[in-house]
Chain A
Amino acid sequence: MGMATTKSEFHVLAVDDSIIDRKLIERLLKTASYQVTTVDSGSKALEFLGFCEDVESNSNEPSTSPNNQQEVEVNLIITDYCMPEMTGYDLLKKIKESSSFRDIPVVIMSSENVPSRISRCLEEGAEEFFLKPVRLADVNKLKPHMMKTKNRDCQKAEEEVSSNEKIASLEIKSSEQTQAEDGNNNKRKATEAEEELSQDRTRRRYNGLTVI
Protein backbone atom coordinates (compact mmCIF):
# COMPACT_ATOMS: atom_id res chain seq x y z
CA MET A 1 0.00 0.00 0.00
CA GLY A 2 1.52 3.29 -1.05
CA MET A 3 1.14 6.63 0.63
CA ALA A 4 -0.43 9.35 -1.45
CA THR A 5 1.37 12.55 -2.33
CA THR A 6 -0.44 15.54 -3.67
CA LYS A 7 1.52 15.96 -6.89
CA SER A 8 -1.13 15.05 -9.42
CA GLU A 9 -4.54 16.62 -9.55
CA PHE A 10 -6.55 13.47 -8.94
CA HIS A 11 -6.08 10.69 -6.46
CA VAL A 12 -7.64 7.28 -7.04
CA LEU A 13 -8.01 4.55 -4.45
CA ALA A 14 -7.95 1.11 -6.10
CA VAL A 15 -9.24 -1.94 -4.25
CA ASP A 16 -8.58 -5.50 -5.44
CA ASP A 17 -7.64 -8.71 -3.70
CA SER A 18 -5.68 -9.97 -6.71
CA ILE A 19 -2.09 -8.82 -6.69
CA ILE A 20 -1.87 -8.99 -10.48
CA ASP A 21 -4.97 -6.90 -10.97
CA ARG A 22 -3.69 -4.40 -8.43
CA LYS A 23 -0.47 -4.06 -10.37
CA LEU A 24 -2.38 -3.70 -13.59
CA ILE A 25 -4.86 -1.10 -12.38
CA GLU A 26 -2.07 0.85 -10.75
CA ARG A 27 -0.15 0.99 -14.01
CA LEU A 28 -3.27 1.93 -15.96
CA LEU A 29 -4.11 4.74 -13.59
CA LYS A 30 -0.54 6.06 -13.49
CA THR A 31 -0.40 6.00 -17.27
CA ALA A 32 -3.54 8.16 -17.21
CA SER A 33 -1.61 10.51 -14.87
CA TYR A 34 -3.51 9.89 -11.69
CA GLN A 35 -2.07 9.52 -8.23
CA VAL A 36 -2.79 5.98 -7.06
CA THR A 37 -3.11 4.11 -3.80
CA THR A 38 -3.86 0.39 -3.93
CA VAL A 39 -5.26 -1.75 -1.14
CA ASP A 40 -6.18 -5.40 -1.07
CA SER A 41 -9.52 -5.33 0.76
CA GLY A 42 -12.63 -3.29 1.43
CA SER A 43 -11.79 -2.95 5.09
CA LYS A 44 -8.34 -1.57 4.25
CA ALA A 45 -10.01 0.86 1.89
CA LEU A 46 -12.28 2.14 4.63
CA GLU A 47 -9.33 2.36 6.97
CA PHE A 48 -7.43 4.41 4.42
CA LEU A 49 -10.34 6.79 3.99
CA GLY A 50 -10.43 7.34 7.71
CA PHE A 51 -13.58 5.45 8.55
CA CYS A 52 -14.31 4.71 12.15
CA GLU A 53 -17.63 3.03 12.80
CA ASP A 54 -19.27 3.80 16.08
CA VAL A 55 -20.25 0.25 16.96
CA GLU A 56 -22.25 1.19 20.04
CA SER A 57 -24.63 3.64 18.47
CA ASN A 58 -27.47 2.29 16.41
CA SER A 59 -27.09 4.75 13.63
CA ASN A 60 -25.51 3.38 10.51
CA GLU A 61 -23.67 6.59 9.90
CA PRO A 62 -19.98 5.97 10.41
CA SER A 63 -18.02 8.90 11.71
CA THR A 64 -14.49 9.74 10.77
CA SER A 65 -11.82 8.77 13.25
CA PRO A 66 -10.60 11.71 15.33
CA ASN A 67 -6.99 10.76 14.83
CA ASN A 68 -7.39 10.62 11.05
CA GLN A 69 -4.07 10.58 9.29
CA GLN A 70 -3.25 13.63 7.21
CA GLU A 71 -6.12 14.95 5.15
CA VAL A 72 -6.15 12.36 2.38
CA GLU A 73 -8.28 13.45 -0.47
CA VAL A 74 -9.61 10.63 -2.59
CA ASN A 75 -11.28 11.70 -5.80
CA LEU A 76 -12.46 8.28 -6.96
CA ILE A 77 -12.64 4.72 -5.70
CA ILE A 78 -12.32 1.84 -8.13
CA THR A 79 -13.01 -1.57 -6.67
CA ASP A 80 -13.20 -5.19 -7.69
CA TYR A 81 -16.59 -6.79 -7.13
CA CYS A 82 -15.57 -10.30 -6.03
CA MET A 83 -13.53 -10.03 -2.88
CA PRO A 84 -13.55 -12.20 0.23
CA GLU A 85 -15.20 -10.80 3.39
CA MET A 86 -16.32 -7.47 1.95
CA THR A 87 -17.39 -7.43 -1.67
CA GLY A 88 -17.12 -4.36 -3.88
CA TYR A 89 -20.87 -3.99 -3.55
CA ASP A 90 -20.64 -3.97 0.27
CA LEU A 91 -17.93 -1.35 0.07
CA LEU A 92 -20.03 0.73 -2.30
CA LYS A 93 -22.97 0.60 0.09
CA LYS A 94 -20.87 1.64 3.06
CA ILE A 95 -19.49 4.58 1.17
CA LYS A 96 -22.87 5.77 -0.10
CA GLU A 97 -24.36 5.47 3.38
CA SER A 98 -21.68 7.68 4.85
CA SER A 99 -22.24 11.41 5.01
CA SER A 100 -18.52 12.10 4.77
CA PHE A 101 -17.76 9.92 1.79
CA ARG A 102 -20.94 9.50 -0.23
CA ASP A 103 -19.82 12.12 -2.72
CA ILE A 104 -16.77 10.15 -3.77
CA PRO A 105 -17.52 8.49 -7.12
CA VAL A 106 -17.21 4.71 -7.06
CA VAL A 107 -16.50 2.44 -10.01
CA ILE A 108 -16.90 -1.33 -9.89
CA MET A 109 -14.81 -3.87 -11.83
CA SER A 110 -15.74 -7.47 -12.42
CA SER A 111 -14.52 -10.36 -14.52
CA GLU A 112 -18.08 -11.64 -14.85
CA ASN A 113 -20.74 -10.11 -17.02
CA VAL A 114 -23.82 -10.53 -14.84
CA PRO A 115 -26.53 -8.02 -15.82
CA SER A 116 -28.34 -8.19 -12.47
CA ARG A 117 -25.08 -7.53 -10.68
CA ILE A 118 -24.34 -4.57 -12.91
CA SER A 119 -27.74 -2.96 -12.43
CA ARG A 120 -27.64 -3.54 -8.70
CA CYS A 121 -24.34 -1.69 -8.46
CA LEU A 122 -25.49 1.17 -10.65
CA GLU A 123 -28.68 1.48 -8.60
CA GLU A 124 -26.65 1.64 -5.43
CA GLY A 125 -24.78 4.60 -6.87
CA ALA A 126 -21.79 3.27 -8.76
CA GLU A 127 -20.82 5.57 -11.61
CA GLU A 128 -19.53 2.89 -13.93
CA PHE A 129 -19.11 -0.84 -14.15
CA PHE A 130 -16.00 -2.09 -15.95
CA LEU A 131 -15.56 -5.62 -17.21
CA LYS A 132 -12.13 -7.08 -16.60
CA PRO A 133 -9.53 -7.01 -17.92
CA VAL A 134 -9.72 -3.25 -17.60
CA ARG A 135 -8.24 -1.28 -20.48
CA LEU A 136 -6.74 2.16 -20.87
CA ALA A 137 -9.89 3.23 -22.72
CA ASP A 138 -11.92 2.43 -19.59
CA VAL A 139 -9.61 4.37 -17.31
CA ASN A 140 -9.85 7.38 -19.60
CA LYS A 141 -13.58 7.50 -18.83
CA LEU A 142 -12.92 8.30 -15.19
CA LYS A 143 -12.01 11.95 -15.43
CA PRO A 144 -15.54 13.37 -15.90
CA HIS A 145 -16.68 11.65 -12.69
CA MET A 146 -13.81 13.13 -10.75
CA MET A 147 -14.32 16.57 -12.32
CA LYS A 148 -17.98 16.51 -11.27
CA THR A 149 -17.04 16.16 -7.63
CA LYS A 150 -14.32 18.78 -7.87
CA ASN A 151 -16.80 21.24 -9.39
CA ARG A 152 -19.33 20.41 -6.72
CA ASP A 153 -16.72 21.03 -4.02
CA CYS A 154 -15.87 24.39 -5.59
CA GLN A 155 -19.55 25.31 -5.64
CA LYS A 156 -19.95 24.20 -2.05
CA ALA A 157 -17.02 26.34 -1.02
CA GLU A 158 -18.50 29.33 -2.82
CA GLU A 159 -21.86 28.77 -1.15
CA GLU A 160 -20.25 28.57 2.25
CA VAL A 161 -18.40 31.82 1.67
CA SER A 162 -21.57 33.64 0.63
CA SER A 163 -23.61 32.20 3.47
CA ASN A 164 -20.95 33.15 5.96
CA GLU A 165 -21.11 36.67 4.61
CA LYS A 166 -24.89 36.62 5.10
CA ILE A 167 -24.50 35.48 8.67
CA ALA A 168 -21.86 38.07 9.39
CA SER A 169 -24.21 40.84 8.21
CA LEU A 170 -27.06 39.35 10.28
CA GLU A 171 -24.92 39.33 13.40
CA ILE A 172 -24.01 42.97 12.84
CA LYS A 173 -27.70 43.87 12.47
CA SER A 174 -28.74 41.93 15.56
CA SER A 175 -25.96 43.38 17.68
CA GLU A 176 -27.06 46.89 16.64
CA GLN A 177 -30.62 46.14 17.70
CA THR A 178 -29.80 44.57 21.02
CA GLN A 179 -28.04 47.69 22.23
CA ALA A 180 -31.52 49.10 22.81
CA GLU A 181 -33.00 45.85 24.19
CA ASP A 182 -33.00 43.38 27.05
CA GLY A 183 -30.22 40.97 27.76
CA ASN A 184 -32.70 38.16 27.11
CA ASN A 185 -33.40 39.34 23.60
CA ASN A 186 -29.69 39.46 23.07
CA LYS A 187 -29.38 35.78 23.85
CA ARG A 188 -32.31 34.91 21.63
CA LYS A 189 -30.89 36.70 18.59
CA ALA A 190 -27.47 35.22 19.11
CA THR A 191 -29.02 31.75 19.26
CA GLU A 192 -30.99 32.47 16.12
CA ALA A 193 -27.85 33.53 14.31
CA GLU A 194 -26.25 30.30 15.41
CA GLU A 195 -29.29 28.39 14.22
CA GLU A 196 -28.95 30.07 10.85
CA LEU A 197 -25.33 29.00 10.76
CA SER A 198 -26.13 25.41 11.71
CA GLN A 199 -29.01 25.42 9.24
CA ASP A 200 -26.67 26.12 6.40
CA ARG A 201 -24.09 23.63 7.62
CA THR A 202 -26.59 20.80 7.87
CA ARG A 203 -28.07 21.66 4.53
CA ARG A 204 -31.44 23.07 5.34
CA ARG A 205 -32.51 20.86 8.20
CA TYR A 206 -35.61 22.82 9.05
CA ASN A 207 -35.95 23.74 12.71
CA GLY A 208 -38.89 26.06 12.56
CA LEU A 209 -37.01 29.21 13.45
CA THR A 210 -36.96 32.14 11.14
CA VAL A 211 -34.49 34.96 11.23
CA ILE A 212 -35.23 38.39 9.94
Chain B
Amino acid sequence: MAPVTSFEPHISHNKDGAIASAFRLRMVSVLGGLAVFLVSFLKCFGERTMAARDATSGSLSEESSALDLPSVCDIRDYVLQRPSQEANSEAFSSLEFHSLPCSSDVDPDTSNLNTEHNNSWASENFWLDPAVKGQSEKEEDDGLRKSLDRFYEMFGHPQPGSANPLSASVCKCLSQKITQLRGQESQKYALRSFQMARVIFNRHGCSVLQRHSRDTHFYPLEEGSTSLNDEKPNPGLSKDIIHFLLQQNVMKDL
Protein backbone atom coordinates (compact mmCIF):
# COMPACT_ATOMS: atom_id res chain seq x y z
CA MET B 1 0.00 0.00 0.00
CA ALA B 2 1.46 3.18 -1.11
CA PRO B 3 1.96 5.76 1.53
CA VAL B 4 -0.43 8.64 1.32
CA THR B 5 1.00 11.96 1.85
CA SER B 6 -1.35 14.67 2.80
CA PHE B 7 -0.60 18.23 3.19
CA GLU B 8 -2.45 20.14 5.75
CA PRO B 9 -1.79 23.59 7.02
CA HIS B 10 0.45 23.42 9.97
CA ILE B 11 -1.38 24.59 13.03
CA SER B 12 0.79 25.60 15.83
CA HIS B 13 -0.18 24.23 19.18
CA ASN B 14 1.01 27.41 20.75
CA LYS B 15 -2.40 28.84 21.51
CA ASP B 16 -1.15 32.37 21.73
CA GLY B 17 0.33 32.53 18.24
CA ALA B 18 -1.73 30.00 16.31
CA ILE B 19 -4.64 32.13 15.22
CA ALA B 20 -2.34 35.08 14.60
CA SER B 21 -0.26 33.09 12.10
CA ALA B 22 -3.29 31.84 10.19
CA PHE B 23 -4.78 35.31 10.04
CA ARG B 24 -1.52 36.81 8.78
CA LEU B 25 -1.33 34.31 5.94
CA ARG B 26 -4.88 35.03 4.86
CA MET B 27 -4.35 38.77 4.90
CA VAL B 28 -1.33 38.45 2.61
CA SER B 29 -3.16 36.42 0.03
CA VAL B 30 -6.29 38.61 0.01
CA LEU B 31 -4.72 42.03 -0.13
CA GLY B 32 -1.90 41.17 -2.56
CA GLY B 33 -0.05 44.40 -3.27
CA LEU B 34 -0.45 45.61 0.34
CA ALA B 35 1.17 42.43 1.62
CA VAL B 36 4.44 43.87 2.83
CA PHE B 37 2.82 46.74 4.67
CA LEU B 38 0.11 44.57 6.20
CA VAL B 39 2.54 41.93 7.41
CA SER B 40 4.64 44.51 9.17
CA PHE B 41 1.53 46.16 10.58
CA LEU B 42 0.07 42.90 11.82
CA LYS B 43 3.37 41.70 13.22
CA CYS B 44 3.69 44.84 15.26
CA PHE B 45 0.16 44.69 16.48
CA GLY B 46 0.33 40.98 17.18
CA GLU B 47 3.39 41.43 19.31
CA ARG B 48 1.65 44.06 21.35
CA THR B 49 -1.35 41.81 21.86
CA MET B 50 0.86 38.87 22.78
CA ALA B 51 2.73 41.01 25.29
CA ALA B 52 -0.54 42.11 26.82
CA ARG B 53 -1.68 38.53 27.09
CA ASP B 54 1.56 37.44 28.69
CA ALA B 55 1.11 40.09 31.33
CA THR B 56 -2.26 38.64 32.31
CA SER B 57 -2.94 35.15 33.54
CA GLY B 58 -1.09 32.45 31.63
CA SER B 59 -3.79 29.85 32.19
CA LEU B 60 -6.08 28.83 29.45
CA SER B 61 -9.17 30.94 29.40
CA GLU B 62 -12.41 30.65 27.59
CA GLU B 63 -12.41 34.22 26.41
CA SER B 64 -11.86 34.76 22.72
CA SER B 65 -8.24 34.85 21.62
CA ALA B 66 -9.06 36.57 18.33
CA LEU B 67 -6.89 39.54 17.68
CA ASP B 68 -8.65 42.86 17.77
CA LEU B 69 -7.20 44.09 14.51
CA PRO B 70 -8.47 47.08 12.58
CA SER B 71 -10.64 46.27 9.64
CA VAL B 72 -9.30 46.26 6.12
CA CYS B 73 -11.24 49.45 5.42
CA ASP B 74 -9.39 51.29 8.16
CA ILE B 75 -6.03 50.23 6.77
CA ARG B 76 -7.06 51.33 3.27
CA ASP B 77 -8.14 54.70 4.60
CA TYR B 78 -4.74 55.15 6.21
CA VAL B 79 -2.98 54.34 2.97
CA LEU B 80 -5.20 56.68 0.97
CA GLN B 81 -4.15 59.56 3.20
CA ARG B 82 -0.78 59.49 1.50
CA PRO B 83 -1.54 59.97 -2.22
CA SER B 84 1.98 61.21 -2.88
CA GLN B 85 3.36 57.88 -1.76
CA GLU B 86 0.94 55.99 -3.98
CA ALA B 87 2.47 57.66 -6.99
CA ASN B 88 5.50 55.50 -6.45
CA SER B 89 4.77 51.83 -5.95
CA GLU B 90 8.13 51.30 -4.29
CA ALA B 91 6.99 53.54 -1.46
CA PHE B 92 4.91 50.75 0.03
CA SER B 93 7.91 48.59 0.59
CA SER B 94 9.65 51.37 2.45
CA LEU B 95 6.70 52.49 4.54
CA GLU B 96 7.26 52.18 8.22
CA PHE B 97 4.44 51.56 10.61
CA HIS B 98 5.71 54.33 12.81
CA SER B 99 5.87 56.98 10.08
CA LEU B 100 2.56 58.75 10.22
CA PRO B 101 1.33 61.20 7.57
CA CYS B 102 2.30 64.09 9.81
CA SER B 103 6.02 63.45 9.34
CA SER B 104 8.11 66.30 8.03
CA ASP B 105 8.80 64.75 4.67
CA VAL B 106 5.18 64.83 3.62
CA ASP B 107 3.87 67.76 5.58
CA PRO B 108 3.53 70.83 3.34
CA ASP B 109 5.95 73.01 5.24
CA THR B 110 5.11 76.52 4.12
CA SER B 111 8.44 77.90 5.27
CA ASN B 112 10.14 75.78 2.64
CA LEU B 113 7.59 76.62 -0.04
CA ASN B 114 9.63 79.25 -1.82
CA THR B 115 12.85 77.27 -1.61
CA GLU B 116 11.18 74.18 -2.97
CA HIS B 117 9.47 76.24 -5.61
CA ASN B 118 12.78 77.70 -6.72
CA ASN B 119 14.09 74.20 -7.33
CA SER B 120 10.93 72.91 -8.91
CA TRP B 121 12.42 73.09 -12.43
CA ALA B 122 15.44 71.01 -11.48
CA SER B 123 13.82 68.28 -9.39
CA GLU B 124 10.45 66.68 -8.88
CA ASN B 125 8.67 67.32 -5.61
CA PHE B 126 5.66 65.42 -4.37
CA TRP B 127 3.43 67.36 -2.03
CA LEU B 128 0.92 65.80 0.29
CA ASP B 129 -1.67 68.43 -0.67
CA PRO B 130 -1.04 69.97 -4.10
CA ALA B 131 -3.99 72.31 -3.60
CA VAL B 132 -2.19 74.14 -0.77
CA LYS B 133 0.93 74.72 -2.86
CA GLY B 134 -1.12 75.71 -5.88
CA GLN B 135 -3.22 78.21 -3.95
CA SER B 136 -0.31 80.19 -2.50
CA GLU B 137 1.53 80.06 -5.83
CA LYS B 138 -1.52 81.46 -7.61
CA GLU B 139 -1.83 84.24 -5.06
CA GLU B 140 1.82 85.20 -5.51
CA ASP B 141 1.39 85.03 -9.25
CA ASP B 142 -1.67 87.28 -9.17
CA GLY B 143 0.14 89.69 -6.85
CA LEU B 144 3.09 90.01 -9.22
CA ARG B 145 0.75 90.42 -12.20
CA LYS B 146 -1.17 93.23 -10.50
CA SER B 147 2.03 94.98 -9.43
CA LEU B 148 3.35 94.93 -12.97
CA ASP B 149 0.07 96.17 -14.48
CA ARG B 150 -0.08 98.97 -11.93
CA PHE B 151 3.53 99.90 -12.72
CA TYR B 152 2.96 100.08 -16.48
CA GLU B 153 -0.05 102.36 -15.99
CA MET B 154 1.31 104.56 -13.22
CA PHE B 155 4.66 105.34 -14.80
CA GLY B 156 3.52 105.25 -18.42
CA HIS B 157 2.17 108.78 -18.51
CA PRO B 158 4.08 112.08 -18.57
CA GLN B 159 4.52 113.81 -15.25
CA PRO B 160 1.94 116.52 -14.71
CA GLY B 161 3.45 119.88 -15.38
CA SER B 162 6.07 118.71 -17.84
CA ALA B 163 5.64 120.68 -21.02
CA ASN B 164 7.76 118.58 -23.34
CA PRO B 165 5.78 118.31 -26.58
CA LEU B 166 7.94 115.48 -27.87
CA SER B 167 7.32 113.36 -24.79
CA ALA B 168 3.59 114.07 -25.05
CA SER B 169 3.60 113.10 -28.71
CA VAL B 170 5.54 109.88 -28.08
CA CYS B 171 3.34 108.97 -25.12
CA LYS B 172 0.20 109.55 -27.15
CA CYS B 173 1.46 107.42 -30.02
CA LEU B 174 2.50 104.58 -27.73
CA SER B 175 -0.74 104.74 -25.74
CA GLN B 176 -2.76 104.40 -28.92
CA LYS B 177 -0.80 101.30 -29.87
CA ILE B 178 -1.13 99.88 -26.36
CA THR B 179 -4.90 100.35 -26.45
CA GLN B 180 -4.97 98.59 -29.81
CA LEU B 181 -2.90 95.65 -28.55
CA ARG B 182 -4.59 95.29 -25.18
CA GLY B 183 -7.62 93.46 -26.50
CA GLN B 184 -5.56 90.96 -28.52
CA GLU B 185 -4.63 87.85 -26.57
CA SER B 186 -1.96 86.86 -29.06
CA GLN B 187 -0.06 90.13 -28.82
CA LYS B 188 1.01 90.02 -25.19
CA TYR B 189 4.72 90.26 -25.99
CA ALA B 190 4.21 93.27 -28.23
CA LEU B 191 1.97 94.86 -25.58
CA ARG B 192 4.63 94.48 -22.90
CA SER B 193 7.26 95.89 -25.27
CA PHE B 194 5.20 99.02 -25.87
CA GLN B 195 4.27 99.40 -22.20
CA MET B 196 7.89 99.17 -21.14
CA ALA B 197 8.96 101.60 -23.87
CA ARG B 198 6.40 104.13 -22.64
CA VAL B 199 7.79 103.90 -19.11
CA ILE B 200 11.39 104.30 -20.34
CA PHE B 201 10.56 107.31 -22.51
CA ASN B 202 8.73 108.99 -19.63
CA ARG B 203 11.57 108.24 -17.29
CA HIS B 204 14.59 109.04 -19.47
CA GLY B 205 13.21 111.38 -22.05
CA CYS B 206 13.20 111.11 -25.80
CA SER B 207 16.81 112.00 -26.57
CA VAL B 208 17.36 108.70 -28.33
CA LEU B 209 14.56 109.57 -30.72
CA GLN B 210 15.96 113.02 -31.37
CA ARG B 211 19.36 111.52 -32.10
CA HIS B 212 17.99 109.12 -34.67
CA SER B 213 15.65 111.68 -36.09
CA ARG B 214 18.66 113.87 -37.00
CA ASP B 215 20.17 110.88 -38.85
CA THR B 216 17.02 110.21 -40.83
CA HIS B 217 17.02 113.75 -42.17
CA PHE B 218 20.14 112.92 -44.11
CA TYR B 219 19.69 109.20 -44.80
CA PRO B 220 16.76 107.11 -45.98
CA LEU B 221 15.03 105.18 -43.25
CA GLU B 222 16.74 101.90 -44.18
CA GLU B 223 20.20 103.38 -43.84
CA GLY B 224 19.21 105.28 -40.76
CA SER B 225 18.32 102.02 -39.14
CA THR B 226 21.93 100.90 -39.60
CA SER B 227 23.07 103.65 -37.25
CA LEU B 228 20.32 102.52 -34.90
CA ASN B 229 21.90 99.09 -34.73
CA ASP B 230 25.34 100.48 -34.01
CA GLU B 231 24.26 102.43 -30.95
CA LYS B 232 24.30 100.89 -27.50
CA PRO B 233 20.71 99.95 -26.68
CA ASN B 234 18.74 101.32 -23.73
CA PRO B 235 17.56 98.63 -21.28
CA GLY B 236 13.85 98.10 -21.73
CA LEU B 237 13.72 99.84 -25.08
CA SER B 238 13.55 97.70 -28.18
CA LYS B 239 15.05 99.07 -31.40
CA ASP B 240 11.93 97.86 -33.15
CA ILE B 241 9.90 100.30 -31.05
CA ILE B 242 12.22 103.18 -31.97
CA HIS B 243 11.89 102.17 -35.58
CA PHE B 244 8.10 102.10 -35.19
CA LEU B 245 8.05 105.58 -33.69
CA LEU B 246 10.26 106.96 -36.42
CA GLN B 247 7.94 105.43 -38.99
CA GLN B 248 4.98 107.11 -37.26
CA ASN B 249 6.74 110.47 -37.71
CA VAL B 250 6.17 111.53 -34.16
CA MET B 251 8.61 114.33 -34.64
CA LYS B 252 7.16 115.71 -37.83
CA ASP B 253 5.58 118.70 -36.14
CA LEU B 254 8.62 119.55 -34.02
Task: Please determine whether chains A and B interact with each other in the same assembly.
Answer: no
Which residues does A use to contact B, with CB under 8 Å? none
B contact residues vs A (CB 8 Å cutoff)? none
